[in-house]
Amino acid sequence: MNALSDKTVGRLSLYRRLLNGLVADGVTHVYSHQLAVLAGGTAAQVRRDMMAVGYTGSPKRGYDIRELAQSIGAFMDAPEGQGVALIGVGNLGRAILAYFAGRRPHLAIQAAFDADPYKANRVIHGCHCYPMTEMDTIAAKANIRTAIIAVPATEAQAVAAKLVRAGVRGILNFAPIRLHLPAEVYVEDIDMTMSLEKVAYFSRKGRAEKEVNS
């Protein structure tokens, strides 16, 4: 139960998704090197990540998929489930709502908020959309500690501060600015412009490849 690193948690999430896929295919066991190719990593890394969750496989049979997935779940999921709020129901916000709607039982978007009164008090992709003025009360009532920001960049800092005041401790931020918040708030930025520029750069320059001596 010691603190896991950022990257390890990300990979655990990926592993679990892959494991669930394997369960659906009827597979029962998997080796670290198999999981590694699915996850795009190395076998050593998979084993090291398993150390972090404390799950132990068996030599010659590998990992029991169902047990391992459950083990990761015990580690990552809130036992009582966890609610998420979405702020900003624009083009991106609606796509996100559509995507996450009813997909994950233990991690669902429970409420959406938008400053536009035209969008408020409607149900979008199965999620009730409230006006921003009600955010504090609803976030408190549903015990929301996690939020997704999909408002224009100019609004993001103010919205983030408001969320933190309402008790939010983790933010997934799509606005292309860096938020300034207390250190105990975890912020993950998804900066599509930055990502696209990286891809564009490397698709011209090529990835710096390790030179292989002939």
Partner DNA sequence: TAGAACTTGTTAACGCTTTCACAACAAGAA
Partner DNA sequence: TTCTTGTTGTGAAAGCGTTAACAAGTTCTA
Helix (H, G, I), strand (E, B) or coil at 19: helix
Q: Are strands 127-131 and 146-149 parallel, antiparallel or unpaired?
A: unpaired
Applying the rule CB under 8 A, the residues between 13 and 72 that interact with a copy of itself are 13-14, 17, 37-40
What burial class does residue 143 get, using C-beta atoms within 10 Å of its C-beta: 0-12 exposed, 13-18 middle, 19+ buried? exposed
28 binds DNA (CB under 7 A): no
Applying the rule CB under 8 A, the residues between 187 and 206 that interact with a copy of itself are 188, 190-206
**Of residues 12, 50, 68, 88, which one binds ligand NAD by CB under 6 A?**
88
151 binds ligand NAD (CB under 6 A): yes
Q: Residue 52 Cβ, how far from DNA at the closest point, in Å?
A: 9
149 binds a copy of itself (CB under 8 A): no
Applying the rule CB under 7 A, the residues between 195 and 214 that interact with DNA are 210
Give residues with Cβ within 8 angstroms of 89, minimum separation 6: 97, 112, 113, 114, 116, 119, 124, 129, 150
Tokens 């536009």 sit at which residue?
A: 116
150 binds ligand NAD (CB under 6 A): yes
87 binds ligand NAD (CB under 6 A): yes
Q: Residue 4 Cβ, how far from DNA at the closest point, in Å?
A: 9
Q: Which amino acid is at 63?
A: Y
* Residue 37 C-alpha from the chain's centroid: 21
Applying the rule CB under 8 A, the residues between 63 and 122 that interact with a copy of itself are 76, 78, 82, 84, 91-92, 94-96, 98-100, 104, 107
CA atoms within 13 A on the CB side of 63: 30
Closest CA to 50 of 77, 91, 19, 80: 19
Binding site for a copy of itself (CB under 8 A): 3-6, 9-10, 13-14, 17, 37-40, 76, 78, 82, 84, 91-92, 94-96, 98-100, 104, 107, 145-146, 148, 168-172, 176, 178, 180, 183-184, 186, 188, 190-209
